[in-house]
Every structure is written in C-alpha cells, then in structure tokens.
C-alpha cells in the first residue's frame, strides 16, 4: 500500500498538469489530460474478459505494473531536443498519461470483485475509508515533500526525479499486489454480453438512478478536475510550489472525506452521505463563483486552500459513496459486469466534462477577455449538474439508509454524533466487558440511530451483553423489528434473557405501544407458551405480560397455575396478573396462599395485590406501609378513615381487637350486617369471599391479612366506599 501511495502521488494528478503547463500546455491540453484521467474507467471493459480468465489479483497486479512502466518514456521530455519541441514533448506526456490510464482502467475491473469479497455490508464503508485514509495521508506527506523540493522556481529535472521514483515505487507496489491470495469466489468469464447485463440491470431503480448520479457528478467533476490548477495560476498568479501546497490542502480534504465516510456511512447509509457531499460541492462552486481577486496575500492563500480542500473532498467522496451504494445494492455475481458499467460511465462522462470544459473555458476566455469572469461563468455551468443530483437523490432507493432529513438532524446533533461514535467503537471491541460497557453507553445516548446496531447485539453469545442490549432497546418503544426480536428472545432464550424480553413486551402492551395486530398475536402466543416453561423467571414475567395484553382465556390458566404452584416468585407474579385482570373470584385462592406462606415479604406483595383486586389499593398502600413500620400508627391511620355512621363503633372495635382472638367473630358479624343491608351483588360476592376465608382460617389469619380485611370493611363505610362500589360494579 505504501509503495502504491508514493507512486500515485508522484505520477498522477496535479504534478503532471504543472509539468505540462511548464512545457507550454494551454487550457485545451489540460482539458484533454484531465479527460484522460477520467477515461481510465472506460477501459474497464477490456478488463472484464481478462479478469474472468486471469483472476482478479493477477489482472490487477500485472496491469498495475504495466501502467507504471508505460510512464517511462515521459522521462525523455527532459532531453533538450525533445523538450524544445512542444509537439513532441507534450505528445509524449499525453501518450504516457493515456497508457497509464488505459492499464489502470483494465486493472480496476478487478477492484470491485475483490472489495466485495473481503468486506461485509456492515464494515464496507469502514474498509474503503481506511484505505482512503492511508492513501490520502501518503498524498499529504508526498505533497509536502514535493512542494519543499520544487521551491518557488523549480528546475525541470526535479519533475523528472519525481517521475523516476514514481515508476520504481509502482514496480514494488505491483509485486506486493501479486502476493495477495486469489479470492475463491473471484470473477468468472461471463456467458452473457455486457450490454445484455446492462439492459437487465437498468429497470432496477437502485442501478438506473445511481447511473444518473454518476453521470451528472462526473460531468461536473470533469469540468473542475485539472481546471482548478489553471484557475489558481491564471486568476491568482500562483507559482508551481504554491499550487503543490494547495494540492496538499486537497489531500487533506480527501483525508477528511475518508474520516467522515468511515464515521457516517455505515451509520446513516450511503444515500444521505451522497447528499452531504453534493451539498459541499455546491458550496465549493459557490465560493469560486463569488470570490473576488483578493488584495491580501493571506486571504488568497486561505481561499485557494479552502477551494482545493472542498474540491478534492467531494471528488473522492462521490466516488467512494457511489462504490458503497453499488456494492450494497448489487449481487456479488454482478459486481464485475455492473461495476465495469459504472466505471465506464465515470470515465465517459468525466471525459465529456473535461473535454467539453476545456473548449468551453477557452471560448469563455476569448469572449469575456477576463479570466475571473470566464471562470465564474464556467463554474456556474458546472453547478447545474450538482443541482440535478439533488432531484435524482430524492428518488434514489434508500439501500439501508435513513431518511435525508433525519440524517441532516443526526449530523448536526451532538447526541446522534455521540451515538455514532459508540457505534463505530463497537466495531473494534475485543472483550465482553468492553462490548457491554459500549452497549450501555449507546443506550444512554437515547438516540434511535443506535437501534439497528443494538439489534445485532441481541445475537451476542454473552448473557450480559444481551441483557444490556435489551435494557437499552427498552427506551425506544416498539417498532416491528424490535418487537420481532423480543418475541424471538422469549421463545429461544429461556433461563438467560427471555424473562427480560417478556417483561418489556408486557410494559409495551401496558403503555399501548404494541398495536400491530399480527405482532400482538405473535407476542401473545409466545408468552402463552412461556407459561409452561421450566424457567420460573420467564413464567412469572410472561403471566404478568399477558395480563397487560388482556389475552382471552388466560384467567383460567393463571388460576390453575397459581393453585398448583409453590414457587414464591411465581405466586407473586401470578397473583399480580390476576389483580391486573381484575379476577375477583380468585380472592379465596389468594387468601389461601397468604395463609400458607412462611415468607413475610412475599405476604406483603400478596396483600397489596389482594388490595388492588378489592379496589382499595389506591389508599391502602400508604396505610399498610405505615402499619408495617409501626402497627399502632397504622391502626390509628385506619381509624382516621372511619366516617361518623351507625357502624363506626363496630369498625372501631374491629380495629381495636385486630391482634386478638376476638377479631374473627367481630369480622364475621360485621360482614353479615353489611351483607344484609347492601343491594350491590358484586359487593356481596366480595364480602362472602372474605366471610368464607374468616370462617375457615379465622384463627390462623396473619395480622397483615387481618389488617387488609379491616381496611376493606372501612372502605365499605368511608367516603371511598361510593367510588369503590361504583368501580366494582363497572368492572366486575
């Protein structure tokens, strides 16, 4: 990679344009040389058959070597006899550039099959970005070196030294390329014609609209590539070494592009990133259209550095994002043929932009007779193609991309950028603890852009990572994909994370966020199956969740399960489910479980659920909590709820003897009295349930159960009673 970076820096791009200008090249020839740079991609068609027979690696390696060797004749232009003949010197350079790009184009036919083989959808942008980071970092280092060596009035032989070492570095780069193992699924010679494959691909909007983007972008790019150097020299009269410094600024722009691409593309998708680079290209064109000739040397340098920075950033950005989109929307077997078509489109339309741009700029300079005005009109024409891109992008299929407005909000949101930072960091985890902490941090950002990455973490082999993932996903509500994965967790992960997923499903149903009827039914089926699980945590959470789903026919199954169950945790959740379902007929069974339970804190939960079932839970909780802290204070609080009525004395005696043997008969007398006078059938049912309980287990009544019964009797007489009876009548 290092040798390739050195070679490309010394042989391709603006250094040859500068050398050609030193030898007398005008705008037409610069346009032609720029077009030859674009025509690289047209020659990919020759690499199609060659890659099918030689293989991807050999095609790239051998033709990479040929492209460097074909530049050797350019060294002859240093001979005075050749240099003094502009036709011979510039013709030699043109032939060298032509051969360089011809063989490069053949080698590029093997590029996309290799990239498609060694990358996955999830890390493709990261791989391409890292390659570009290495490439552009090398460009910066080499650019600075060349700028220092060239100086203000550089001798011509210095260009020859650059070209010579570029060829040598290219030979070494080709040698190491040939050492790469051949991909097992490398390109095969196609039995169909390239034209037929293109006709088959064009009805697909992913391909046809990408083709339009490539067309408009490369025409516009061709009109700038190379001419930005002419712009700097003609309008701002910059020397060669300063132009090389500007190319270093351009390489910094390309490096920034690679970093942004690595950070954004895998997160928000290629479509919004393409829009982002298109907007930056329009910003670059607006700057060069509006900029005056600055009187300040500093402003001139700052402006040209900014212009070169944006020009190269967007040039490489368009190509990289188009490749990511292409590989994401194309089958591996089509990478060779359709990749050649995209490369040919780049080359053909880039050549049109460069050749047409050269003639257009020459005509404008003759018409306006002022370089500044000529370039303003010229770049205004280039901007029209990027405005057309906006229309195409509006209709480009998403291809695992988020919506453009959402992407814009994400790019300018500190929370979303922080989330994307963690998502990129997640790709490089080396341990379970590291992955767990990053997942927790992603959930802490509370940004929905993390959802797709969190979904992947549900397949982690670690229970701790899956647990943190579920807790993070819980914050984002109930999209269909998340619900499907939660259902999958309930069915396939008992004894680990299934109970967490069941609990989340219940909470979503409780808050009314699980509304899709098909998904809702799938969730109910999975939770109902979980009631027969050996995992007591899952069974407990599933019962509670189903209560929130209001599943038909669930009540009998829960009551039977409660009758047979001795697991304290399951009993708590089964009773809570009955409270939510308001199954008042389960009261005798709940009282039975209270009487037979040896665990005080479990009794507390069962008492609270029974109070909720009796519809006294809203005010009972605070009184019961006080009673547990101080029984006397709890009893006084209960006395304070007794209204002035005919039964106030009976209720006071009931509370006074709550801990004594007199309590059961007093409770029975009060129930009989209330049953005789009330006309509410639902109320009579409740009183009879408590009466049966008191008659059967009166002597064994735990104090907490006695307090509940006394509270229910107070509720029958207190101001809460009317509302209590009304709710009972409506719900039961």
Q: What would the pLDDT profile of 664-691 be if each residue is shown by its tens digit?
A: 788 887 777 777 666 667 677 777 877 8
Query: Considering the chain, what percentage of its residues have pLDDT values greater than 90?
Result: 12
The residue range of the domain holding 710 is: 599-732
The pLDDT tens digits for 44-53 are 777 777 877 7
CA distance 633 to 642: 15
Q: Give every CB contact of residue 131 below 8 A, 6+ residues apart in sequence.
A: 1
Specify the range with the lowest mean pLDDT, choosing from 58-62, 212-216, 605-609. Answer: 58-62
Given this model, what pLDDT does residue 309 score?
92
Give the pair of three-digit tokens for residue 336.
Answer: 């060779």
Give the pair of three-digit tokens for residue 211.
Answer: 């083709």
451 part of a folded domain: no
Yes or no: say if 577 and 550 are a contact pair by the CB < 8 Å rule.
no
pLDDT > 80? residue 553: no
DSSP state of 531: T
**CATH number of the domain bearing residue 134:** 1.20.1250.20
pLDDT > 50? residue 461: yes
The pLDDT tens digits for 312-331 are 889 888 888 888 888 888 88
427 part of a folded domain: no
193 part of a folded domain: no
Give the pair of three-digit tokens for residue 113.
Answer: 């099959």
Given this model, what pLDDT does residue 29 score?
79
| Domain match, 84 and 205 both | yes
Report the 10 Å Cβ neighbour count for 293: 10
The pLDDT tens digits for 501-546 are 999 998 888 887 777 788 888 988 899 889 888 899 999 999 899 8
CA distance 354 to 371: 18
| Domain match, 35 and 163 both | yes
Specify the range with the lowest mean pLDDT, choosing from 146-160, 337-351, 538-552, 575-589. Answer: 146-160
Q: What is the band of 723 on the pLDDT scale with cuts at 50, 70, 90?
A: very low
Given this model, what pLDDT does residue 724 score?
43
| Domain match, 557 and 626 both | no
Boundary-marking domain end, from 538, 554, 581: 581
| Domain match, 619 and 560 both | no
Q: Is 204 helix (H, G, I), strand (E, B) or coil?
A: coil
Given this model, what pLDDT does residue 384 score?
94
Mean pLDDT of the chain: 81
CA distance 391 to 154: 46
| Domain match, 605 and 547 both | no
Yes or no: say if 148 and 14 are a contact pair by the CB < 8 Å rule.
no
Nearest to 374 by CA among 364, 359, 382, 389: 364
Report the 10 Å Cβ neighbour count for 237: 11
**CATH number of the domain bearing residue 573:** 1.25.40
| Domain match, 540 and 623 both | no
441 part of a folded domain: no
Specify the range with the lowest mean pLDDT, choosing from 5-19, 99-113, 244-258, 293-307. Answer: 5-19
| Domain match, 547 and 619 both | no
Given this model, what pLDDT does residue 302 score?
92
pLDDT > 90? residue 389: yes
Yes or no: say if 313 and 254 are a contact pair by the CB < 8 Å rule.
yes
DSSP state of 109: T
> pTM for this structure?
0.63
Q: What is the band of 151 on the pLDDT scale with cuts at 50, 70, 90?
A: low
Given this model, what pLDDT does residue 591 score?
82
pLDDT > 60? residue 732: no
Q: What is the band of 104 on the pLDDT scale with cuts at 50, 70, 90?
A: confident
Higher pLDDT, 645 or 352: 352
Higher pLDDT, 598 or 439: 439
* Number of domains forming the structure of the chain: 3
Boundary-marking domain end, from 365, 381, 407: 407
| Domain match, 681 and 635 both | yes
Q: What is the mean pLDDT of residues 615-622?
A: 78
589 part of a folded domain: no
Given this model, what pLDDT does residue 722 score?
39
413 part of a folded domain: no
Given this model, what pLDDT does residue 729 score?
38
CA distance 731 to 35: 81
Given this model, what pLDDT does residue 720 score?
47
| Domain match, 611 and 521 both | no
| Domain match, 45 and 166 both | yes
Q: What is the band of 726 on the pLDDT scale with cuts at 50, 70, 90?
A: very low
The pLDDT tens digits for 260-307 are 777 777 678 888 889 999 999 999 999 999 988 888 889 999 999 999
| Domain match, 644 and 568 both | no
Given this model, what pLDDT does residue 444 score?
82
CA distance 190 to 337: 8
**Which DSSP string corresponds to 423-443?**
HHHHTT--SHHHHHHHHHHHH
Torsion of CA 505, 507, 510, 511, to 10 degrees: -110
Given this model, what pLDDT does residue 215 score?
93
Given this model, what pLDDT does residue 721 score?
43
pLDDT > 80? residue 607: yes
The pLDDT tens digits for 118-139 are 666 556 666 666 777 777 777 6
421 part of a folded domain: no
**Which DSSP string corresponds to 462-525?**
-HHHHHHHHHHHGGG---HHHHHHHHHHHHH-TTTTHHHHHHHHHHHHHTT----HHHHHHHHH
Boundary-marking domain end, from 407, 433, 454: 407
Given this model, what pLDDT does residue 731 score?
40
Q: What is the band of 351 on the pLDDT scale with cuts at 50, 70, 90?
A: confident
Given this model, what pLDDT does residue 149 score?
73
Give the pair of three-digit tokens for residue 116.
Answer: 């498609």
Given this model, what pLDDT does residue 78 score?
83
pLDDT > 70? residue 184: no
CA distance 487 to 504: 10
426 part of a folded domain: no
Yes or no: say if 365 and 371 are a contact pair by the CB < 8 Å rule.
yes
Yes or no: say if 45 and 360 are a contact pair by the CB < 8 Å rule.
no
Q: Give every CB contact of residue 29 below 8 A, 6+ residues apart in sequence.
A: 20, 90, 94, 358
Yes or no: say if 586 and 562 are a contact pair by the CB < 8 Å rule.
yes
Report the 10 Å Cβ neighbour count for 730: 8
| Domain match, 356 and 395 both | yes
């Amino acid at each position: 990679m290092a040798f390739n970076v050195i070679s490309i820096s010394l042989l391709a791009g603006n250094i040859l344009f500068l050398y050609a200008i030193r030898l007398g090249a005008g705008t037409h020839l610069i346009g032609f040389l720029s077009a030859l740079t674009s025509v690289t991609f047209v020659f990919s068609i020759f690499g199609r058959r060659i890659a099918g027979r030689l293989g991807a690696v050999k095609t790239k390696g051998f033709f990479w070597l040929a492209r460097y060797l074909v530049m050797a004749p350019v060294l002859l232009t240093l001979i005075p006899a050749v240099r003094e003949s502009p036709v011979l010197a510039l013709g030699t350079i043109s032939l060298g550039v032509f051969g360089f790009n011809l063989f490069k184009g053949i080698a590029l036919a093997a590029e996309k099959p290799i990239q498609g083989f060694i990358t996955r959808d999830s890390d493709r942008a990261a791989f391409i970005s890292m390659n570009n980071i290495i490439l552009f970092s090398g460009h910066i280092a080499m650019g600075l070196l060349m700028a220092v060596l060239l100086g203000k009035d550089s001798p011509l032989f210095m260009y020859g030294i650059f070209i010579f070492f570029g060829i040598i570095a290219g030979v070494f780069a080709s040698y190491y390329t040939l050492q790469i193992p051949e991909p097992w699924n490398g390109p095969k010679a196609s039995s169909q014609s390239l034209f037929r494959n293109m006709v088959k691909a064009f009805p697909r909007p992913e391909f046809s609209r990408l083709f339009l983007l490539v067309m408009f972008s490369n025409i516009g790019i061709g009109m700038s590539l190379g001419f930005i150097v002419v712009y700097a020299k003609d309008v701002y009269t910059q020397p060669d070494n300063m132009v090389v410094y500007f190319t270093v600024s351009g390489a910094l722009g390309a490096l920034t592009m690679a970093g942004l691409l690595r950070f954004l593309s895998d997160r928000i998708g290629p479509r919004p990133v393409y829009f982002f680079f298109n907007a930056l290209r329009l910003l670059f064109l607006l700057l060069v259209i509006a900029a005056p000739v600055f009187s300040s040397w500093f402003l001139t340098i700052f402006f040209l550095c900014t212009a070169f920075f944006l020009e190269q950033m967007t040039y490489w950005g368009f190509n990289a994002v188009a490749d990511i989109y292409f590989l994401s929307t194309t089958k591996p077997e089509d990478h060779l043929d359709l990749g050649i078509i995209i490369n040919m489109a780049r080359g053909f339309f880039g050549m049109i932009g460069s050749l047409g741009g050269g003639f257009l700029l020459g005509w404008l300079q003759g018409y306006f007779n002022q370089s500044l005005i000529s370039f303003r009109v010229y770049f205004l024409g280039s901007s029209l193609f990027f405005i057309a891109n906006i229309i195409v992008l509006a209709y480009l299929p998403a291809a695992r991309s988020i919506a453009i407005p959402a992407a814009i909000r994400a790019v300018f949101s500190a929370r979303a950028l922080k989330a994307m930072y963690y998502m990129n960091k997640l790709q490089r985890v080396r341990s379970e603890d590291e992955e767990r902490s990053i997942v927790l941090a992603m959930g802490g950002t509370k940004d929905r852009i993390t959802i797709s990455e969190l979904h992947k973490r549900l397949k982690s082999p670690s229970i701790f990572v899956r647990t943190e993932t579920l807790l993070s996903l819980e914050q984002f509500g109930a999209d269909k994909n998340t619900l499907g994965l939660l259902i999958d967790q309930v069915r396939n992960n008992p004894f680990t994370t299934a109970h967490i997923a069941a609990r989340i499903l219940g909470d979503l149903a409780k808050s009314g966020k699980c509304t899709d009827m098909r998904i809702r039914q799938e969730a109910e089926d999975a939770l109902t199956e979980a009631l027969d699980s050996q995992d007591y945590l899952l069974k407990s959470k599933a019962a509670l969740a189903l209560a929130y789903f209001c599943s038909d026919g669930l009540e009998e199954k829960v009551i039977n399960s409660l009758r047979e169950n001795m697991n304290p945790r399951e009993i708590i959740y089964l009773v809570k489910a009955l409270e939510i379902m308001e199954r008042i007929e389960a009261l005798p069974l709940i009282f039975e479980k209270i009487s037979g339970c040896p665990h005080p804190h479990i009794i507390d939960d069962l008492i609270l659920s029974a109070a909720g079932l009796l519809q006294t839970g809203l005010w009972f909780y605070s009184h019961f909590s006080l009673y547990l802290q101080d029984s006397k204070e709890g009893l006084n609080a209960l006395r304070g709820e007794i209204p002035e009525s005919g039964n106030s004395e009976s209720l006071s005696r009931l509370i006074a003897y709550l801990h004594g043997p007199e309590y059961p008969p007093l409770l029975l007398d009060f129930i009989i009295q209330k049953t005789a006078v009330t006309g509410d059938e639902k109320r009579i049912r409740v009183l009879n349930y408590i009466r049966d309980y008191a008659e059967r287990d009166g002597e064994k009544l735990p104090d907490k159960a006695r307090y509940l019964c006394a509270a229910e009797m107070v509720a029958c007489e207190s101001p809460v009673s009317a509302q209590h009876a009304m709710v009972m009548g409506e719900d039961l």
